[in-house]
Chains A and B, each alone.
Chain A
């Protein structure tokens, strides 16, 4: 065989179900491949849920250890990413319940900002990282951090992980209608927080006319 020629099947990217089968045969490469594919989503969801960088890494590791030890219970009829995100979500929720009630008052000044800054080392470069939009990114991050966990998890999965309503409903074991209505409320809540931060009209306020906004061009 020509040294540069690969067998046809080796060139095809294996599916998650195939990797799971190989992982069940104790293939280290299969474990690594599954982590290469899904560690980013798992870590992102957990980091934004718990908002503690060191803890997020530990919980993400816990998630994969639990998943790999329970790999025989994985049903290939379902998506692996949904299965592992469900484990990640449950792991994060368990941590939040153990730690303290994580409902943050929307009247609190900027509780998410410090944690957001602490997480800055573990993130990719972003279009908002340019100095001109740094305040927008920071305010969006803070508004997201101020959401209650039940809403925050939905925004993360829908808008940051780009999951469908069906996938989110499966991961969280919620009816689709609940997912949609909660997402709508979560987005509206973030809009209120952004508006109060000076980005536009405050919905529901009596004097909700356009106030001097950070986003306006003067």
Chain B
């Protein structure tokens, strides 16, 4: 094989043109070996380690059950301590807040149910009107009128077709 890159290009292209796959592969491999490799910039590893250090370490630490247990126990003990220190006053304040929230939610529920009731009443009125109209249209008078209209329309159409001359081809 030639050593001059230009000659190798010629060999490669001629091999591709003649469908000599192995020769084309060999020649192209030589050419590709001459292409430069892109290198990561200096400090790449430091940047990666800096990026993965803190969040990953915290997540990894939190994944351990013993740490979760310690944090849970600490929170529980703090809660018990707060309750024991503040006593009834603290508890009644919390219960009062809960009662206020529950009262607010109850009133909101009443308002919503009243609004739904009024909407349903309006719908009932519309449904009643629809039923009355339906009964009127379903009666024999309405059907007879409809049939009469259709008959008159058909007769008029036939008369018009006789009056209007057909175009000649």
Chain A residues proximal to chain B, CB less than 8 Å:
26, 28, 31-32, 35-36, 39-40, 42-44, 47-48, 56-57, 60-61, 64-65, 68-69, 119, 122-129, 133, 136-137, 140-141, 144, 155, 159-160, 184, 187-188, 190-191, 194-195, 199-201, 203, 208, 213-217
- Assuming the contacts A123-B39, A124-B39, asked whether A194 and B48 have C-beta atoms less than 8 A apart, the reply is no
A125 to B36, CA, bound (A): 6
- Assuming the contacts A60-B40, A136-B5, A187-B16, asked whether A141 and B24 have C-beta atoms less than 8 A apart, the reply is no
Closest residue of chain A to B44, judged by CB? A39
Interface contact A57-B6, CB-CB below 8 Å:
no
Interface contact B40-A40, CB-CB below 8 Å:
yes
Q: Which residues of B contact A133 (CB under 8 A)?
A: 5-6, 34
Q: Which residues of B contact A128 (CB under 8 A)?
A: 5, 34-36
Q: Which residues of A contact B9 (CB under 8 A)?
A: 136, 194, 199-200, 215
Closest residue of chain B to A58, judged by CB? B47
Which of A144, A160, A215 is B37 in contact with, Cβ under 8 Å? A160
The B contact surface, by secondary structure, is helix
Q: Which residues of B contact A155 (CB under 8 A)?
A: 32
Interface contact B13-A195, CB-CB below 8 Å:
yes
Q: Which residues of B contact A203 (CB under 8 A)?
A: 13, 16-17
B52 within 8 A of partner (CB): yes
Closest residue of chain B to A201, judged by CB? B17
User: Which of A48, A64, A214 gathers the greatest number of chain B CB atoms within 10 Å?
Assistant: A64
Which of B5, B25, B38, B51 is A127 in contact with, Cβ under 8 Å? B5
Q: Which residues of B contact A35 (CB under 8 A)?
A: 44-45, 48
B68 within 8 A of partner (CB): no
A68 to B45, CA, bound (A): 12
Closest residue of chain B to A199, judged by CB? B9
Looking at the assembled complex, report how far the CB atom of B44 sits from the nearest CB atom of chain A, in whole angstroms: 6
Looking at the assembled complex, report how far the CB atom of B13 sits from the nearest CB atom of chain A, in whole angstroms: 4
